[in-house]
Amino acid sequence: MARPVTLFTGQWADLPFEEVAKLASEWGYDGLEIACWGDHLDVWRAVEDESYLRSRLDILDRHGLGVWAISNHLKGQAVCDDPIDARHQAILSERVWGDGEPEGIRQRAAEEMKHTARVAARLGVNTVVGFTGSANWKYVAMFPPVPADLIEAGYQDFADRWNPIMDVFEDEGVRFALEVHPSEIAYDYWSTVATLDAIGRRESFGLNWDPSHMVWQDIDPAGFLVDFADRIFHVDCKDTKRNTGNGRNGRLGSHLPWGDPRRGWDFVSTGRGDVPWEACFRVLNSIGYDGPISIEWEDAGMDRLRGAPESLRYVREQLFDPPEAAFDAAFSS
Whether pLDDT at 58 is above 60: yes
Least confident of 1-15, 49-63, 192-206, 296-310: 1-15
pLDDT tens figures, 154-176: 999 999 999 999 999 999 999 99
pTM of structure? 0.96
Confidence band for 327, pLDDT divided at 50, 70 and 90: low
Whether pLDDT at 122 is above 60: yes
What pLDDT score was predicted for residue 324?
75
Whether pLDDT at 90 is above 80: yes
CATH number at residue 39: 3.20.20.150
Which residue range is the domain that position 112 belongs to?
5-331
pLDDT tens figures, 249-273: 999 999 999 999 999 999 999 999 9
- Sign for the pseudo-dihedral over CA of 263, 264, 266, 272: positive
Least confident of 111-120, 267-276, 299-308, 320-329: 320-329
Q: How many domains does the chain have?
A: 1
How far apart CA 147 and CA 8 sit, in angstroms, is 39
What pLDDT score was predicted for residue 1?
53
